[in-house]
Amino acid sequence: TSHTTDAKIFQVVQNNSDGLVKVNDANGNTSVQLDGYSGGSSFVMSKLGVGTSSPQDALQVNGGALLKDRLRLMRTSGPNYVDFNSGQNLVFRSIDTTDANAATRMIIQTNGNIGVNNTAPDAKLSVDADADGDLINVHTSYTSDAKIFQVYQSGTNGYLRLNDGFGNNIIQLAGYSQGSSYFYNSNVGIGTTSPATKLDIEDSADPVVRMGRADGTYWNQKVTGNNSFNYQLQYNGSTFFEMHGDGGGWMQGSLAQNSDRRLKRNIETIPSALKTISQLRGVKYQWRQDEFPNRHFDAKTHLGFVAQEIERVLPELVSEGSDGYKSVTYNGIMPILVEAVKEQQQQIETLQAQNEALAESLRQIQAQLNQLMEGSGTR
């Protein structure tokens, strides 16, 4: 070139047994190199156009109707390739060891849908399985390539798994009516992002847990109230059991306890039941609301017993909680009352018999007195 002193702008060079063509700029710097060696380096340092004389990018491929603006990246040893077609889908194909023809492994459609093993994806990402096993895996760098997210197929069923950083399964969701879905060793929140228990349900309205059958019948477990807590069990919308935050509650129907003789041993009639009852004191009282606000006591007047007084007479009916406060099993007093009534009735019957005997003696004495008075002429 005449631009600089004897700079070479075009060269044909022999490199050992191989040919080399270089196109240089005005300063002798190589812009294009074509290397005839199979393991050599050919390159373009500027924009390269195929089918265009004014490329706008590092590589621009234009074509007419015959070429369809196609760019294909292909292996020399087989039909594995990537097809770029202007206005058409981006196709990735490969061949396996059992098939002589290349199969489409992934396709990116012009509408943005991506198909993996699916040539007609109907979503932004559509993955088709052709056998049991993992469909999608997400790995972590925390440990040796552990799977932290999995979508997999087993038979005709789909599963979604979330694992910890070591690959241990924590959550599984089964897309099968008889499959197993679970949350293992983790808290689950509904209506809250910070669950404090295994299942934590929160709502600005009254939270409800509903358990139903296919025939339309169901049970509701409902929490109601703002400043006070009410727990309800409902059947088809009707409340059958209710428990209040102050410890009260009610139920529709009756409550039965185990009482079968076959379950018991050392059965004895309660002795001296009347004497025992006479040692008990029934009281009326109010709860100490101000001193125990966390117990949510009400302000009503109640009837009952004092646990410490019951304990001195009937320790079997008194239990102590983990907080140190005592409770009374009130229904344990009922059999004592039954035996006390029977003892009292026996005393009444004895007194009645004694009264009848005294009355008979009085009648006999009166009859004898009447006879004496008649004999003496005093009547």
Mean pLDDT of 3-16: 75
How does pLDDT run across 282-316, given as a tens digit for each residue? 999 999 999 998 888 888 999 999 999 999 999 99
Predicted confidence at residue 2, as pLDDT, reads 61
Predicted confidence at residue 375, as pLDDT, reads 77
According to DSSP, the β-strands at 114-116 and 125-127 are parallel
In the Cβ-directed half-sphere of 4, how many Cα atoms lie within 13 Å? Answer: 9
Distances (CA, A) of 279 to 51, 285, 313, 339, 348: 112, 19, 7, 15, 20
CA dist 304 and 325 (Å) reads 16
Mean pLDDT of 258-285: 95
> Looking at the chain, how many residues does it have?
379
Residue 277 pLDDT > 90: yes
Residue 229 neighbours by CB distance under 10 Å: 13
Q: How confident is the model at residue 269 (pLDDT cuts 50, 70, 90)?
A: very high
How does pLDDT run across 83-142, given as a tens digit for each residue? 666 566 766 766 655 555 667 778 888 888 888 888 888 888 888 877 777 777 787 876
Q: Are 165 and 177 in contact (CB under 8 A)?
A: no
CA dist 205 and 225 (Å) reads 9
Predicted confidence at residue 67, as pLDDT, reads 47
Predicted confidence at residue 66, as pLDDT, reads 46
Predicted confidence at residue 216, as pLDDT, reads 75
| Predicted structure pTM score | 0.52
Residue 358 neighbours by CB distance under 10 Å: 10
Q: Are 136 and 124 in contact (CB under 8 A)?
A: no
SS3 340: helix
How does pLDDT run across 146-202, given as a tens digit for each residue? 888 888 887 777 888 888 878 788 888 887 777 788 888 888 888 888 888 888 888
- Computed over every residue of the chain, the mean pLDDT equals 81
CA 289 to chain centre: 37
Q: Which amino acid would we find at residue 197?
A: T
CA dihedral 145, 150, 154, 158 (to 10 degrees): -170
Structural domains present in the chain: 1-46 (no CATH), 208-251 (no CATH), 270-379 (1.10.10)
Look at the alpha carbons of 188, 244, 231, 202 in this order and tell me if their dihedral is positive or negative. negative
Predicted confidence at residue 42, as pLDDT, reads 82
Mean pLDDT of 251-264: 88
CA dist 158 and 174 (Å) reads 6
Predicted confidence at residue 73, as pLDDT, reads 58
